[in-house]
Amino acid sequence: MKESKLSVPKYQMVRNYILSMIQNKELSAHARIPSEKDFIEKLGVSSITVRRALAELVDEGIIYRVKGKGSFISDQKQKDQTRTKLITFVLSGKDMYDNSYMQIMKGIQSYLSKHGYKLIIEFIENDIDREKDLVKKLIQTDCEGLLIYSSDPEAAKEYLTDIQSKRIPIVLLDRFPMGIPLPCIACNNYDGGFEAVSHLIDLGHSKIGFCAYDFFLNSEKERYLGYQHALMNANLLTDSTNFFSRSKLDYEDLVTAIKKGNLTALFCVNDRMALEVMEQLIKMGIKIPEDLSIIGFDDFESSKYAKVPLSTVRQHFEKLGYEAAKLLLETSTKTQMEAKKVLLPTNLIIRDSTAPPS
């Protein structure tokens, strides 16, 4: 026993002695610990040694002092309940004040606040390198979990694999990479795309184009798959000349196709793209929906106030945030991370930008 005491610093002996009393339930929450004199006599240490040990335990929150009365054992259960628990939402997007982002944040905050968590928001202006650096720093902190809306999930595979190996609670929102089984939540992009194109077909359209925004994203590919299957379901062929991407979109060619009758309707992968296309075509003399029906996806707040109110597929962004936070806390209680994928339903919203072909 004597050899054991000499193997550690003397102040550590005092510290370990107090911790063993707590562990053996000789001292319970708010119980007064022995006096400095008691430790000196029992352990054969100096008053300076005792004070150093007590100061360290105070810093760690294990004991607390009351002036004129002594030192007492902290209530660890109460301490755990009052400790601020942090969740970080990493949002890599184009516009911090986009209403859809604000709705997601509102949903996350709504769920977390009910369970004693605080939300930290880290916004990055669509920069995958900054996104990587930020997340690598965050996983070194005491953050309890991460919600990530990545600008490029495929490019994020490196840090996502690191998170997976460290078993840090994480949920991906809206988009995710292939080949890394991580919890994620998104709207049902396939069904939404299928329903949007089926609506155009029901109106009598057969020459329906697809306009992508960032086609490397799985969410856009799933909407495109819904588009293809809706055409197949109506025995219509997919025409590769009617596939347009934001980076290669030639409005002169688009107008020519519309005027020749080769294109009567357009499914845009999101409202941002749909509103941009609509604005440019109207400037070039195309009437919406008389010359071209346009339907989007997302139902941004601005879509219903467009020059021609936009038909679209509504995502429930607040619900997305709420369910993402819920899934994250569920994930944090599991001993092993599950690649759970949650899909939320969408709704078709019909406004003035779609009509039967002229």
- Residue 342, pLDDT > 60, answer yes
Torsion angle of C-alpha atoms 352, 358, 267, 200, degrees rounded to 10: 80
Parallel/antiparallel/unpaired status of strands 70-73 and 63-66: antiparallel
Is residue 175 within 8 Å of residue 186, measured between CB atoms? yes
Determine phi and psi for 206, rounding to 5 degrees: -125, -20
Distances (CA, A) of 66 to 19, 32, 57, 83, 331: 19, 10, 14, 21, 40
pLDDT digits (tens, 9 = 90+) for 220-235: 999 999 999 999 999 9
Is residue 286 within 8 Å of residue 278, measured between CB atoms? no
**Domains along the chain with CATH numbers:** 2-79 (1.10.10.10), 83-187+317-343 (3.40.50.2300), 189-315 (3.40.50.2300)
How many whole angstroms separate alpha carbon 358 and alpha carbon 355?
A: 9
CA atoms within 13 A on the CB side of 338: 13
> pLDDT band for position 214 (50/70/90)?
very high
Is residue 340 within 8 Å of residue 152, measured between CB atoms? no
* pTM for this entry: 0.75
Q: First CA to last CA across the chain, in angstroms?
A: 96
pLDDT digits (tens, 9 = 90+) for 26-74: 888 888 899 888 889 888 889 898 888 888 888 777 888 887 788 888 8
Which residues, in sequence order, are bridge partners of residue 218? none
Which residues, in sequence order, are bridge partners of residue 268? 211
